[in-house]
Amino acid sequence: MAVSKDLSKYRFEKAQECLLDAKMSLDAGRFDFAANRSYYCIFHCMRSVLALEEIDFKKHSAVIAHFRNNYVKTNKFNKRISNIISDLFELRDKSDYEDFFVISKKEVAEQVKNAEHFLQQIKIYLESI
């Protein structure tokens, strides 16, 4: 169990770093990178929770599905968390892979804020167990 707690802590710290990168990128006008880092903030948050179960997946979709099935559907987290996952996954996918995709400052600022909310909810959860 000590190893899983250390891994969870490491992944949560990685999520915090991603959020900081997202905020700095937003301030620097690098909106696509801010979207990417916002998504990875929540991705590492989800994996920090999964580490406590000593479970992990190779695919992002599997991490997301497991988190939703075991943490959102069971009401450990509210539906807003699930919506944030969807929004950030889609935004990151478009900004990383679609040619000529342009994201507005307003849109990415909202997603950075959502990533921060997500991280805070995970922090509360991790501190409670």
Query: Is it true that domain 2-128 has CATH number 1.20.120.330?
Result: yes
Q: How far apart are CA 75 and CA 17, in angstroms?
A: 27
pLDDT for res 1: 61
Q: Average pLDDT in the 7-19 region?
A: 98
What's the confidence (pLDDT) of residue 87?
97
CA 29-108-48 angle, to 5 degrees, is 110
pTM of the entire structure? 0.96
Residue extents of the structural domains in the chain? 2-128
DSSP the chain: -HHHHHHHHHHHHHHHHHHHHHHHHHHTT-HHHHHHHHHHHHHHHHHHHHHTTT---SSHHHHHHHHIIIIITTTSS-HHHHHHHHHHHHHHHHHHHSTT----HHHHHHHHHHHHHHHHHHHHHHHH-
The whole-number pLDDT of residue 4 equals 94
The separation between the first and the last C-alpha atoms of the chain, rounded to the nearest angstrom, is: 13
**pLDDT digit string, tens, across residues 17-71:** 999 999 999 999 999 999 999 999 999 999 999 999 999 999 999 999 999 999 9
Question: For position 123, what pLDDT does the model report?
Answer: 98
